[in-house]
Structure 1
């Protein structure tokens, strides 16, 4: 069963507490991709925006909450279930339209191509 793309998998964080993960390192399955620039915790609308720094020439990427597999507050790390290349190939982050349904639909079409690997 595949959960909502825009919801965090069960057990990723305490639903009663929205952790402040701004500035946490983001770890893809094959290494660090940047740090969290923004994060939301709204039901069925959650995402993180990652500042990739020099890795993709200072660009940002938006990741749906369902790709987050773990948040480690002690290590200040967020782990995601995608490779660097999968993230790099995602639709370009559009700072003016990222909250619009059309942009989310395009991003959702891209990320739905990959098998779900989180916890139900």
Structure 2
């Protein structure tokens, strides 16, 4: 599997605009909308506000979990199910940028089979 914090080949390049506010779709339905993003090389991710789906929590989605970005319809598609996302290491506003959390999250999502 590719580095979790880098976009898959052909995704992310040339987006040219912010993804904040875009809807985010798991393989089995909408999970929320993009609240924050980072496009730093080797440290790209989305912070998704899940709204009422997981009681107002946020989740961090490494760039490699993104399979497609539809700029026309403002949607981001992920290669993960709602259950996989719900069971990920918990988001903490104070520590989600820490290397330890990033390692834990990268390891968690890296356990799942590659999905194109």
Provide the TM-score with structure 2 as the length reference: 0.95
Structure 1 residue matching 2:83: 3-state secondary structure: helix
Q: Which residue matches 2:8?
A: 9
For structure 1, which runs of at least 5 residues remain unmatched after alignment? none
- Bigger shift: residues 59-68 or 107-116: 107-116
Runs of 4+ in 1 over 3 A off after TM superposition: none
Q: Which residue matches 1:25?
A: 23
1:109, distance to aligned residue in structure 2 (A): 1.5
Q: Which residue matches 1:102?
A: 100
Provide the TM-score with structure 1 as the length reference: 0.92
CA distance in 1, matches of 2:115, 2:53: 25
- Higher share of residues assigned strand: 2
CA distance in 1, matches of 2:102, 2:67: 20
Cα RMSD, aligned residues only: 1.1
1:116, distance to aligned residue in structure 2 (A): 1.7
Residues 69 and 10 of structure 1: CA distance in aligned 2, closer, same or farther (over 3 Å) = same
